[in-house]
Amino acid sequence: MLIRTELPGDRDDREARYIEAAVGGIVVTSLYLPNGNPQPGPKFDYKLDWFRRLRSHAAKFIKQDVPVVLAGDYNVAPTELDIYPTRSWDKDALIQPKSRAAFKSLVAQGWCDAIRTLNPSRPMYTFWDYKRNRWPRDAGLRLDHLLLSPALAPRLSKAGVDRKARAEEGASDHAPAWIVLS
């Protein structure tokens, strides 16, 4: 059942970046956080403000002990493990300290980063740019995340990335991230 089609907190924001539905007793969200480039500038400010609104909304789920999956393209590689060794992205909004701090602040509310929880020490890329032969070189980033509320996290049994989908002809530059709940 559809719950909402926009992230609360800014009546003037008309970008379609958030949807929320109740599915089998779980609130499932799909989000597409702003990229934020170029930074600094208004697009980066919008990204950080959107993160602030997401944290505010997400805190309500935690407080109410609701089983929730915050799923989507966060446009953040949260740690060095989430990006292949390179300096080519150093000025990109995807890895800026403020972007990473915003993601960390969201997770610190009590959210479980499903993929990192079950794969704590190995890269689990979800995005490979079309440029510079990055897919064949496995020069990726983990930008897509599945965050589970404390009410749902104990049910996490598997998590991963469907890398085969990225290899198909005409594929997106993202591969699907997935979870299995018990």
The conformation of residue 5, written as its DSSP 8-state character, comes to S
Catalytic: which of 18, 73, 113, 125? Answer: 73
Q: Of the residues 82, 92, 145, 174, which is catalytic?
A: 174
User: Rounded to whole angstroms, what are the CA distances from 156 to 61, 133, 179?
Assistant: 18, 34, 7
Contact 4, 28 (CB under 8 A): no
Annotated catalytic, 145?
no
| Other Cβ atoms within 10 Å of 54 Cβ, number | 24
Please confirm, yes or no, whether 125 is among the known catalytic residues: no
Distance of CA 30 to the CA centre of its chain: 9
3-state helix, strand, coil in the chain (%, to 5): 30, 25, 45
Q: Which of 32, 45, 57, 129 is catalytic?
A: 32
The question of whether 130 is a catalytic residue gets the answer no
Which of these, 9, 11, 78, lies nearest to 49 by C-alpha position?
9
The residues carrying an active-site annotation are 32, 73, 174
